[in-house]
Structure 1
Amino acid sequence: MSESADGSADLPTMRTIADYQFGAGAGAALFPPDERAAITIKRTTSGRPQQVHADDGRIVSFGTDGRFTLGLEGGRRLAAALDPPAYRVVVDDESEPFVRDGKNVFAKFVRGVDPAVRPGDEVLVVHERGDLLAVGRAELDAGAIEDFETGMAVSVREAAPADD
């Protein structure tokens, strides 16, 4: 895997993909055109972008399916840019320590969810007060997450430490 500190040629394309996947404005939120901090793009041996990092951590990974998977830094950027409830799954105090420990979110403990969430979507797991707890992949659609008393709602990929 090679690295490129100057991925400027790839950034407009990645902004477009992010806008398509997460909605208008997501591309500029994830990859700000005026960002002063270095964005590093790690590439596969064939040169395809694979991971995008900033000084604060991984923003996204770029899957072979053409979709992004969020890193915690990408989750922070989207949480700041997208109005609630966009791409959010909300939990309360009871679930917070488990989610922060990287445990998956079960439907029984979800207190709210963006009605547009579908299985396979990248989501932000947030506390009722709005703090980002983790990022992950929705395993159920929004209706099922709200209605089910059993089953995994979100497969957590990366969790925010308690002091975050």
Structure 2
Amino acid sequence: MSDSEYRGLCRAAVYQFGRGADAALFPAPEAVEITHTSSGRPRQVHADDGRIATYGTDGRYRLGLAGGRRLAEAFDGSRHRVVVGDESEPFVREGRNAFAKFVQSADPELRPGDETLVVHEDGHLLAVGRAELPGGGMTDFETGMAVKVRQGADDA
């Protein structure tokens, strides 16, 4: 991987997830492996612990479980998180969607379409996915999907 490609991936991570995401997701160029499309655009980013992310055509990352674990360790508090309890834990862990009825709290900065870490109330990462509702409103809704889960912890 070229130095400019590595810097580009890091810039995209900071843009999407905020300061510190670059170091969390891509600690060093030699620590990650990138697959490319036939046109040469980065596609998948892998490391020893699994798929970190897919780099979409829109320039945004779709997190893999390994990337979710890295961000969960790097960011404290509620940042990029949706918290669910025991009722939905086994379903979300299997890769099923998280519904608003079971959301206990959520990062108020989340917007629909943002990448999200779905965590249990005890802090364990259950899944990664895409927010379908704004973070500030997830606890207000009684019905509807809060997070479209892309990969559950049991899928890894």
TM-score bracket, normalised by the shorter chain, equals over 0.9
- 3-state SS in 1 of match to 2:138: helix
- Structure 1: distance between partners of 2:61 and 2:138: 22
- 3-state SS in 2 of match to 1:154: strand
Q: Which runs of 5+ in 2 are unaligned?
A: none
- 3-state SS in 2 of match to 1:10: helix
Structure whose residues are more often helix by fraction: 2
- Percent of counterpart pairs with the same letter? 62
Name the structure 2 match of 1:123: 116
Name the structure 2 match of 1:64: 57
Name the structure 2 match of 1:32: 27
- 3-state SS in 1 of match to 2:139: helix
Following TM superposition, the consecutive aligned residue runs of length 4 or more in structure 1 with deviations greater than 6 angstroms are none
Name the structure 1 match of 2:7: 12
- Structure 1: distance between partners of 2:10 and 2:63: 14
- 3-state SS in 1 of match to 2:52: strand
Equivalent residues of 1:122, 1:137 under 8 A apart: yes
Match of 2:78 among 80, 85, 91: 85
Q: Cα distance, 1:8 vs. partner?
A: 4.5
Name the structure 2 match of 1:154: 147
Name the structure 2 match of 1:3: none
- Structure 2: distance between partners of 1:151 and 1:72: 24
How many residues align? The count is 156
Is 1:43–2:32 an aligned residue pair?
Answer: no
Q: Output the amino acid matched with 1:72.
A: L
- Structure 2: distance between partners of 1:57 and 1:9: 23
TM-score (norm 2): 0.95
Q: Cα distance, 1:7 vs. partner?
A: 5.1
TM-score (norm 1): 0.90
- Structure 2: distance between partners of 1:42 and 1:20: 21
Coordinate RMSD, CA, aligned: 1.6
Q: Deviations over 1:24-80 (max 9, x none)?
A: 0001100003x76x4110100000000100111100100010100100000000000
Q: Which runs of 5+ in 1 are unaligned?
A: 1-5
Equivalent residues of 1:7, 1:41 under 8 A apart: no
Alignment CA distance shift 1:54-1:17 (3 Å): same
